[in-house]
Amino acid sequence: MNEFIAQVPFDLYGLSLFRLVAEQRSFTRAAERAGLTQSAVTRQIRMMEDKLGVPLLERTTRSVTPTAAGTWLLGESQRLLGDVDEVLRRIREEFSEAKKVVQVGVSRSVGLAYLPGFFHANLRRAPEVGYRLRHEGGAEIVAALEANALDVGVICPPAKLPATLRVTHRFDDAFTLIASAEVAATFPKRGKPATLATWAAAQNWLLLDERSQTGRRLRTWMAAHGCKLEPTLQLDGFDLIINLVSLGMGVSFVPIRALALYGRKRSLRRLAWPDRFVRKLAVVVRAKREQPAHIKRFIENVLF
């Protein structure tokens, strides 16, 4: 056993220092963050590279960048160190007086109006539990779930989730067309598809960023319904889109549920488009892992 330990190229401490150097792109900044001398950090990384027999970092006078091997190790270590952090957090929560916390990621395409449904019942029924909320892109949430940096994610899921994740719930999220009162007055009543397409082509469209799952699917649906157009403005969230539409800056398809916060905006109108776009939202967790009771209760209490 002693011989084996002596041959191991690095431990979790060394791996953490390597990640810090790779992320900071500097031995000096990494040493400052770690509270060590630069020579100590450099020695640790050199020892790792010597034992592995491959360089992990390319060093220049100005910066440090991971090699191909270093980039691969950086990706793999994110999940490993996330697992370790999760184990330590669970130990503190289960066997000490540390407050239990649920780390939740909600996609930016899921508006603020949804959050009461996710948290209100939980705050009332489990006031002893704390929550950390991240509001970011779906791809970032998937990566954070894989790295064990999140317990639960609410996203518009990709066509294929990583094998390390699973869906606990799916629910439909219907959309509607909105415009300002002035623009709504020009909307054709009982118009034929060609008339609607002509009206749509004359509008300024405010759409969700096409890099998002919802953005891509909405564009595909619009094209199938005669709206093959380029948006005037792309944004990363529906709350901003709704506010800009109410100011007369354009029109958009938005989730009906997202409008709940804007019921008093008299300048906002819903328009009767002949068909309806519906996306699927999903609650996603790590696969093949027993969820702690407080995380299970959180998911059960979400109002879908």
- Model confidence pLDDT, tens digit, residues 144-189: 898 888 999 999 999 899 888 999 999 999 999 999 999 999 999 8
pLDDT at 304: 76
Q: Are strands 152-155 and 233-235 parallel, antiparallel or unpaired?
A: unpaired
The CATH number given to whatever domain includes residue 99 is 3.40.190.10
Residues 88 and 68 in one domain: no
Residues 101 and 189 in one domain: no
DSSP collapsed to 3 states, 176-237: EEEEEHHHHCCCCCCCCHHHHHHHHHCCCEEEECCCCHHHHHHHHHHHHCCCCCCCCEEECC
pLDDT at 3: 46
Residues 163 and 290 in one domain: yes
Determine which of 91-100, 153-162, 272-281, 286-295 has the lowest per-residue pLDDT on average: 91-100
Residues 194 and 125 in one domain: no
For residues 265-273, give the mean pLDDT: 88
pLDDT at 7: 53
Residue 4's pLDDT band, with cuts at 50, 70 and 90, is very low
Residues 166 and 286 in one domain: yes
Residues 34 and 59 in one domain: yes
Residue 237 · residue 112 · CB < 8 Å:
no
pLDDT at 6: 46
Using CA atoms, how far apart are residues 299 and 137, in angstroms rounded to an integer? Answer: 20
pLDDT at 191: 64
Q: Which of 23, 46, 76 is the last residue of a domain?
A: 76
pLDDT at 278: 97
Residues 167 and 190 in one domain: no
Residue 262's pLDDT band, with cuts at 50, 70 and 90, is confident
Higher pLDDT pick, 56 / 11: 56
Residues 204 and 269 in one domain: yes
Using CA atoms, how far apart are residues 294 and 286, in angstroms rounded to an integer? Answer: 15
For residues 34-63, give the mean pLDDT: 86
Residues 181 and 228 in one domain: yes
Higher pLDDT pick, 178 / 14: 178
- Write out pLDDT tens, residues 206-224: 999 999 999 999 999 999 9
Q: Which of 76, 96, 122 is the last residue of a domain?
A: 76
Q: Are strands 233-235 and 206-208 parallel, antiparallel or unpaired?
A: parallel
Across the chain, what does the average pLDDT equal?
Answer: 87
- Per the listing, tokens 């370790």 go with 84
Residues 252 and 236 in one domain: yes
Q: How far is residue 217 CA from its own chain's centroid?
A: 17
For residues 286-295, give the mean pLDDT: 84
Q: For the chain, how many structural domains are there in total?
A: 3
Residues 186 and 214 in one domain: yes
Domain with 182 in it:
174-278
Q: Which of 76, 97, 122 is the last residue of a domain?
A: 76
Residues 295 and 260 in one domain: no
Using CA atoms, how far apart are residues 33 and 28, in angstroms rounded to an integer? Answer: 9
Q: Say whether pTM exceeds 0.75.
A: no
